Structure 1
Amino acid sequence: MNWPDAQLNEIKSKDDLAAYLQDLAKAIGDGRIALENPSTVDFVDASARWTKAMDGFFKNVIGEPVPDSPNWAIIAAIFRAAVTYE
């Protein structure tokens, strides 16, 4: 799979995911990434809504169907999308 966010392409393990999430938190804290869902409930809700809608993302952006078995990169993508998904 070829993610449009190059960092997602590097995530192969749970340690990679943990490092990505730490970097994501730092980028949000530093203001490099705007946070559209600042409350926990909004973030979790955005995660759920993006997950439900990710078939369209995979079809239109990735050019593949959503895999039957998620991997560490897909989990990271859900977190990343929830930061800005409205």
Structure 2
Amino acid sequence: MVKKMTESESLTPQINSREELARHILALVERVESGAMPLENATAVAYMKAAAYWINDSPGFFANNGLEVPETPDWSLIGMIFNAACVYE
């Protein structure tokens, strides 16, 4: 059974290693497959476009949520991109 993500986890997952990122992505897959998380971008192309658009717009996301824009990408930011690409339009 997959644990439901809290809002803070979905906004800013705490991912500190390659292994944690892999577990995060696999848990995301389980949530999507079970219907617990919507998937707006069901094709690979749509998912990649959504990821690119979110990355481009991410400074607004960070500002709207009272967060600092990361200077350099880290494992948590990569996890955020995977989360966002599921639902970003």
Q: Settle same-fold status: TM greater than 0.5.
A: yes
Taking only aligned residues, the RMSD between alpha carbons, in angstroms, comes to 1.6
1:25 aligns with 2:38: no
* Partner of residue 80, structure 1: 83
Instruction: Structure 2: give runs of 5+ residues left out of the alignment.
Output: 1-6
1:8 to 10, 13, 18: 13
Matches of 1:37 and 1:76 in 2, distance apart?
Answer: 16
Instruction: Structure 1: give runs of 5+ residues left out of the alignment.
Output: none
Matches of 1:36 and 1:76 in 2, distance apart?
Answer: 17
1:39 aligns with 2:46: no
When normalised by structure 1's length, the TM-score is: 0.88
Q: CA deviation at 1:67?
A: 1.3
Q: CA deviation at 1:60?
A: 1.2
SS at match of 1:5: helix
4+ aligned runs moved over 4 Å, structure 1: none
Matched residue count: 82
Q: CA deviation at 1:49?
A: 0.1
When normalised by structure 2's length, the TM-score is: 0.85
